[in-house]
Amino acid sequence: MEQRTPQRPRLSDLRESGCVTGDTRIVRADTGERIPIKTLAERTVQSPIPVFALGDDYTLQTRQMTKVFYSGKKKVFEMKTRSGRTIKASANHPLLRVDGWKRLDELHAGDHVALPRALQTNAAKNPMSQAELILLAHLLGDGCVLPRQPFHYTSADKENIETVGNAAKELFGIAGRVVPQKNWYHLYLPSPYRLTHGRHHPVTEWFGALEIPLVRSWEKRVPDRVFQCDQSSVALFLGHLWSTDGNVSWKRIPGRKSSGNIYYATSSPLLAEQVQHLLLRCGILSSLRVNTSKKQYRPMFHVSVEGAGEQLRFLETVGVIGKRGAIVHDMKRALKEIVRNTNVDVIPSLAWRCIIEPAKEAAGVSWREVSKRIDTAYCGSTLFQHGIGRARMMKLALGLRDQTARDLATSDVLWDRVVSITPLGVEDVYDATVEGVHNFVANDIVIHNSLEQDADVVLFIYREDKYAPESSTKNVAEIIIAKHRNGPVGSVKLFFNEATVSFSDLAKDADYGQGGYEGAQEPYPF
């Protein structure tokens, strides 16, 4: 029990709530903007914003984040998943496992946590034209836009050279100059006007408006405006970006059908993370891995699209521009013939015990009968050692008539395996309040908003004369409405009749004292 002076009742601080570091990014569900939680907390006015959250039926929903706030300093841990997602949070911050919310310090490598399968906005601003998206993608990939150097673009693909030249001409009136060099082409982008003091190259001014610096390849990033575009515009940007440092080639393994090898490579860790997020905006799952080969000066970050289903979705939704796209037609046909491998995109094996077993008991059937209902051979306890594919989960849902199993089979969740949880130092941390479901998507991971949910509404009764006998406000009780949630609060003073243990309204001009209040109205029974 806390005691503070003056002894006026109040809600205690929820110091044990989980929280995340300030660089954690939250996506607006309407516009697609990715905003650090620190920035949201520092707003003068805490107006609600729409965010992505997970419903009880495992579907992704739009909910209002009503408040974001600073939570102090705490020791934080970085959790990393198989797909390359990371988040830094306090030890007690909950994440979603198939058996419910678990604190970060209760999770271990090998556990599976919930991630969204796709993030689709509903009110994109589309602040960039197609020509801007095309030119930006190529310059981020194979462009050299550095201070005190001639701006140019390099590619072995003549179609890409023509594409960049046309976009630069359309946007800025630049007449590009092509210089061949062995198997490469350099497209120089001179200013269409004379550069003087205070008048910059149009590409420099454009990058300034986009709020991206003129930097080396390992520092490149996607500007915020791209995230405010709709899915078709994002796909256009990715398709042209892939034609620079992306790869679409055959993966041939003896004895197996040919599949695709699709990835984007960059030396910029931020650019790689942004590309992975933009793929998710197109409904495409991917993995981010680091290649630290000694042959390379800097580590390379590969964003890989794996599995026949995701690769086919990539080729149909994003595609590839230029000569890299020549094999797309044949690859799509080959991918459609591959039997899908469900070893990765499965509901964790834990679901057998926490979801299927209770449903089996409720149905009053044996495990042998369960196997029969899903048309599979009975294999005893080995059944519980493997994850459950979405198609098999639907069979179980139908066979056992279980709604939770059905929800999991059709969910908007990817269950991603935790690969590491690493302790870091003490950092400033933040939390947020989300109405209804009390969770939100941050860093493309579903996390709980564990603060401000424990006390919806609390009513306090405060009598000053009980703590200060010399007080002149005898028999006056202050009714205080408080809450941890965002929303209206307040207080009202009433007359308290000790003899009848009841409350009455205080008349504005009444005289009240030790003898009670004669002008009180009809009492309110307590």
Residues 6+ apart with CB under 8 A from 469: none
Same domain, 24 and 58: yes
CA gap 482, 154 in Å, rounded: 63
- 368 has a pLDDT exceeding 80: yes
Q: Is the pLDDT of residue 513 over 50?
A: no
pLDDT digits (tens, 9 = 90+) for 85-94: 999 999 999 9
CATH code assigned at 248: 3.10.28.10
Assigned domain for 122 exists: no
- Does residue 329 share a domain with residue 243? yes
Q: What is the pLDDT of residues 298-333, one digit of tens each?
A: 899 999 999 999 999 999 999 999 888 889 999 999
The 3-state secondary structure of 92-105, one letter per residue: CCEEEECCEEEEHH
Write down which residue in 223, 255, 279 finishes a domain. Answer: 223
pLDDT at 499 over 80: no
Instruction: For the chain, give the percent of residues with pLDDT over 90.
Output: 71
Query: Model-level pTM?
Result: 0.83
Average pLDDT value for residue range 119-143: 96
Do residues 218 and 241 both lie within one domain? no
Give the chain's mean pLDDT.
Answer: 89
Using the predicted structure, report yes or no on whether residue 269 has a pLDDT greater than 90. yes
pLDDT band at 469 (very low <50, low <70, confident <90, very high): confident
Q: For the domain that residue 59 is a member of, what is the CATH number?
A: 2.170.16.10
**Whether residue 202 sits in one domain with residue 134:** yes
Check pLDDT > 50 for residue 515: no
The answer to the question of residue 498 being in a domain is: yes
Q: What is the pLDDT of residues 426-463, one digit of tens each?
A: 999 999 999 899 999 999 999 998 654 445 577 778 77
Which DSSP string do the residues of 5-29 spell out, in sequence order? SS----PPP-TT---EETT-EEEBT
pLDDT (0 to 100) of residue 115:
98
Q: What is the per-residue pLDDT for 250?
A: 93
- pLDDT recorded at residue 486: 52
Residue closest to 153 by CA, chosen among 124, 181, 131, 126: 181
Report whether pLDDT(16) > 60.
Answer: no
Closest CA to 244 of 182, 177, 194, 187: 187
Same domain for 241 and 315, yes or no, is yes
Angle (nearest 5°) at CA 225 between 222 and 227? 70
Q: Could you give the residue ranges of the DSSP H alpha helices within 401-437?
A: 403-409
pLDDT at residue number 450: 60
Higher pLDDT, 291 or 165: 165
Mean pLDDT of 349-366: 96
Residue 491 pLDDT: 78
In a domain, 150, yes or no: yes
Are 145 and 213 in the same domain?
yes
259 and 287, same domain (yes or no): yes
* 126 band by pLDDT with thresholds 50, 70 and 90: very high
- Kindly state whether residue 317 falls inside one of the protein's structural domains: yes
Residue 139 has pLDDT above 70, yes or no: yes
In a domain, 116, yes or no: no
Domain boundary pick from 191, 223, 255: 223
Q: Could you tell me if 410 and 72 are in contact, meaning their C-beta atoms sit under 8 angstroms apart?
A: no
- In Å, what is the CA distance from 279 to each residue of 93, 206, 246, 273, 511? 27, 25, 13, 10, 71
The answer on 237 and 332 residing in a single domain is yes
Structural domains in the chain (count): 5
Domain extent at residue 185: 130-223
Q: Which amino acid is at 156?
A: A
Q: Are residues 302 and 239 in the same domain?
A: yes
The reply to whether 235 and 301 lie within a common domain is yes
Categorize the per-residue pLDDT at 4 as very low, low, confident or very high, splitting at 50, 70 and 90: very low
Residue 121 lies in a domain: no
- Last residue of one domain, picked from the residues 305, 336, 367: 336
Residue 24 lies in a domain: yes
User: Do 397 and 441 reside in the same domain of the chain?
Assistant: no
- Which strands make up the sheet holding 246-251, listed edge to edge? 246-251, 259-266, 300-305, 287-291
What pLDDT does residue 521 have?
Answer: 45
Residues 73 and 139 in one domain: no
State percent of the chain over pLDDT 70: 90
Distance of CA 98 to the CA centre of its chain: 18
Decide which of 255 and 233 is more confident: 233
Q: Are 176 and 168 in contact (CB under 8 A)?
A: yes
- 202-230 pLDDT, tens digit each: 999 999 999 999 999 999 999 999 999 99
Residue 423 within any structural domain of the chain: no
pLDDT for residue 517 is more than 50: no
